[in-house]
Chain A
Amino acid sequence: AQSVAQPEDQVNVAEGNPLTVKCTYSVSGNPYLFWYVQYPNRGLQFLLKYITGDNLVKGSYGFEAEFNKSQTSFHLKKPSALVSDSALYFCAVRDGGSQGNLIFGKGTKLSVKP
């Protein structure tokens, strides 16, 4: 069965410091991996995705993620955090052989302090 794990409920970083939000996955076929961000009372906003090719994926708002097949991970990163990055981040996976629905992790709350 497909699954996604986000091992940290919350990540705290100081503004200007690098941030990492962790995600590991389990799928039977080739993984299609996504990161979304959710601000309070808002829907999910797409950040980036990995389908194939370069393991380092660049996305919106300066975020990037590194696909690591051997570790089955897809951690979200940003070199320098902003207070406005504070939000709930969701990792999602789609099995390449599936119809299309995404399997989401439980989410990680990112808090960036000035």
Chain B
Amino acid sequence: GAGVSQTPSNKVTEKGKYVELRCDPISGHTALYWYRQSLGQGPEFLIYFQGTGAADDSGLPNDRFFAVRPEGSVSTLKIQRTERGDSAVYLCASSEGLAGPLGTDTQYFGPGTRLTVL
């Protein structure tokens, strides 16, 4: 079946501009995660959705970053007033949603969006 898809695959923007990154999770997965991967590093958690609500947004670096998932499926990560330090690969993952203290389900990742801020 179809995996997690992310668009665009590459995004080049200028400092100060606004960008939106889209994630389409595996059908039926209720949990959705955003991570950021800088060069030479492992992915770092940004935000986690269970259904439509953001269950944990503790990883968002500042208030320029925001994410939504209005219908509990597709999610959009929004970055305002981009800075050069925002350049990274943004990864989205989804899981069946058996999250929380009893959750053991596996997160499946999309190919990522490479964001370059000039």
Contacts and interface: CB of A to CB of B under 8 A. Distances in A.
Interface in B27-57: 31, 33, 35, 40-45, 48, 55-56
Interface stretch (B70-78, B79-87, B100-108): B100-108
Nearest to A100: B99
B100 A90 contact: no
Contacts, number: 67
B33 A100 contact: yes
B34 to A, nearest CB: 10
Contacts of A45: 109
B106 A49 contact: yes
Residue of A34, A92, A98, A106 with highest tally of chain B CB at under 10 A: A98
Residue of B4, B41, B43 with highest tally of chain A CB at under 10 A: B43
Residue of A44, A45, A46 with highest tally of chain B CB at under 10 A: A44
B48 A101 contact: yes
A44 B106 contact: no
B25 interface: no
A101 B59 contact: yes
Interface in A19-74: 32, 34, 36, 41-46, 49, 51
Interface majority SS on B: helix, strand, loop or mixed?
loop
A102 B12 CA distance: 28
B75 to A, nearest CB: 15
Interface residues of B, number: 29
A41 B39 CA distance: 12
14 contacts: A4-B42, A41-B111, A43-B91, A43-B112, A44-B43, A46-B108, A49-B104, A100-B95, A100-B107, A101-B33, A102-B107, A104-B43, A104-B44, A106-B41
Interface of B: 4, 31, 33, 35, 40-45, 48, 55-56, 59, 91, 93, 95, 99-101, 103-104, 106-112
| Closest 10 pairs (CB-CB, A-B) | A104-B42, A100-B99, A101-B45, A43-B109, A44-B109, A43-B111, A51-B104, A99-B56, A104-B43, A97-B101
